[in-house]
């Protein structure tokens, strides 16, 4: 008889999952205060695991705790977004170069399948599916690089950019640009053109200046949904 295994999850982890879900759903918006007492009552836990979860979320950049004990969902500044783009671009481009020699015909076929599904999702205005498949396509070459630390950092930063909250904002020109870049990426992988792969990912797909005007539209809309409205200039 097979032995069953169970994954232990601490109260802190459960509280973190709850808060991240609330942020992703938009129930806790950037700039809004987090009320520890309300969370205690709602989850039926003491303040200790909540405090531990909040400290961890602050380390990960999702919330900010002021000296006066005010706890808020963190808003990203334009400089912080630029820094995140730079880090993702540097790490993911290196991962893709490593993955290039390891990529099989099956991997390429999966990338092409993901690409077709992304195009189809956009045509149907299914932006959530588009985003999910987009991440799936990128994860093919990320996983092939064999560096789990790198993969975790990149995916955590992507979540910070797009998932808290994930808003279904359609920017046709940005999406068309991204679709074309994915088409080119698959082509370069087939050709094993490492220089072109690195340049595309680092300087175009994750190049901040190459995406600045789209980023401003996206995050200004996101921030406009909070009570303390602020614009990214």
Domain boundaries, the chain: 11-73, 78-224
Cα gap 99→74, rounded to integer Å: 34
pLDDT at 190: 97
Q: What are the C-alpha distances in Å from 182 to residues 49, 71, 178? A: 42, 39, 6
Q: Using one digit for the tens of pLDDT, what is the confidence trace for 183-231?
A: 999 999 999 999 999 999 999 999 999 999 988 887 777 666 544 444 4
CATH topology of domain 78-224: 1.20.120
Rounded mean pLDDT, 107-122: 96
Query: DSSP string spanning the chain?
Result: -PPP------HHHHHHHHHHHHHHHTSS-TT-B--HHHHHHHHT--HHHHHHHHHHHHHTTSEEE-TT--EEEPPPPHHHHHHHHHHHHHHHHHHHHHHHTT--HHHHHHHHHHHHHHHHHHHTT-HHHHHHHHHHHHHHHHHHT--HHHHHHHHHHHHHHHSTT------HHHHHHHHHHHHHHHHHHHHT-HHHHHHIIIIIIS-HHHHHHHHHHHHHHHHHTSSS-----
**Model confidence at 11: pLDDT above 90:** no
**Model confidence at 103: pLDDT above 60:** yes
Domain 11-73 architecture:
Orthogonal Bundle (1.10)
Please say whether the dihedral angle defined by the alpha carbons of residues 132, 133, 138 and 143, taken in this order, is positive or negative.
Answer: positive
Do 158 and 135 form a contact (C-beta atoms < 8 A)? yes
Q: Report how far Cα 140 is from the mean position of its chain's Cα atoms.
A: 16
Cα gap 80→25, rounded to integer Å: 22
**Model confidence at 1: pLDDT above 80:** no
Q: Using one digit for the tens of pLDDT, what is the confidence trace for 33-88?
A: 998 889 898 888 888 989 999 999 998 888 898 877 689 888 888 899 999 999 99
């Amino acid at each position: 008889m097979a032995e069953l295994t169970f994954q232990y999850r601490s109260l802190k982890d459960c509280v973190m999952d709850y808060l991240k879900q609330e942020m992703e759903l938009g129930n806790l918006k950037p700039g809004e205060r987090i009320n520890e007492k309300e969370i205690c009552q709602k989850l039926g836990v003491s303040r200790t695991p909540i405090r531990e979860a909040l400290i961890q979320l602050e380390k990960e950049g999702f919330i900010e705790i002021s000296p006066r004990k005010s706890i808020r969902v963190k808003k990203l500044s334009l400089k912080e977004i630029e820094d995140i783009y730079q880090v993702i671009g540097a790490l993911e481009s290196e991962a893709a170069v490593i993955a290039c020699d390891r990529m099989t015909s099956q991997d390429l076929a999966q990338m092409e399948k993901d690409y077709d599904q992304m195009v189809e999702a956009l045509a149907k205005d299914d932006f959530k599916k588009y985003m999910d498949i987009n991440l799936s396509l990128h994860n093919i070459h990320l996983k092939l690089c064999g560096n789990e630390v790198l993969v975790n950092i990149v995916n955590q930063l992507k979540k910070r950019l797009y998932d808290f909250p994930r808003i279904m904002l359609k920017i046709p020109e940005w999406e068309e640009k991204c679709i074309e870049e994915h088409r080119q990426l698959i082509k370069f992988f087939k050709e094993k053109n490492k220089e072109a792969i690195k340049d595309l990912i680092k300087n175009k797909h994750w190049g901040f200046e190459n995406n600045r005007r789209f980023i401003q539209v996206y995050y200004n809309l996101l921030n406009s949904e909070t009570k303390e409205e602020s614009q990214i200039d």
